[in-house]
Amino acid sequence: MKKINLDLLRKLSLLLLIGVFFGESYGRLVPSGVDDRNTRQIRKASAFIGEKRPHLSLKERERLAVLIENAALDLKLPNRRNGKSWDKLGFLLGVIQTESRFHTKAKSHKGALGLMQVMPDTAKWLAEKEGISFKSAKELYEPELNLHLGVLYLNYLIERTDSIEAALLSYNAGLGGYKRFGGIPSYSKSILQYYEEFQSFTWVETRIESRLAGLYEF
């Protein structure tokens, strides 16, 4: 009997396990709770986040993309000057990239925290106003709560200003600050620039990435 090549046997076993792994994952390519029609947008957002923060794992990118997409649904954006609707996901991605560069633990020198750089006092006021549980500033490092409060605050400002640009400048400087000195124009320009970048963003998704992403349940 010929001697068995153990090296070859190990490789064949590994290939068999990979085949079983992907076979079992077939049909579960969409994270739990995500509608099929939104999947491509989430994949696009994940790739966009990965370009901005390449050290994030695929799982981390996918999780952020799903949370941001869900939060974006609550944005109350008026139509643009050309009458077209905003891409809410792209808009929120632009805000987050400008505010924190997708760092969930970001902290500004003024004390703003998390993805959307929410001030603890603003968070406390919004939480009391909307009946949301909020016990500590550290909770703003939790992406889901941070996004929820950040979107609520944006909606509040949109209702009290006469344009998206004014609402964004107020988000950065505070409503009182905006009314006093007008805010920093480069801030809103940055968000709109990233918004347009996301609209034209293209990426090549590998087959392995597509399959692995579907194994994560959030």
Q: What is the pTM of this model?
A: 0.80
pLDDT at 25: 39
pLDDT at 83: 79
> Is-catalytic flag, 165?
no
pLDDT at 70: 96
pLDDT at 33: 47
Q: Taken in order 35, 40, 43, 44, is the CA torsion positive or negative?
A: negative
Name the stretches of the chain with pLDDT < 70: 1-37, 205-218
pLDDT at 26: 36
Q: How many helices and strands in the chain, by DSSP H and E? A: 10, 0
pLDDT at 16: 54
d(CA 159, CA 146): 20
pLDDT at 82: 80
pLDDT at 15: 56
pLDDT at 211: 53
- Copy the structure tokens of residue 2: 């010929």
d(CA 142, CA 195): 24
State the alpha helices, DSSP H only, in 83-204: 88-99, 120-130, 143-160, 164-173, 175-181, 185-199
| Catalytic, out of 69, 99, 165, 205 | 99
pLDDT at 12: 57
pLDDT at 29: 40
d(CA 137, CA 179): 27
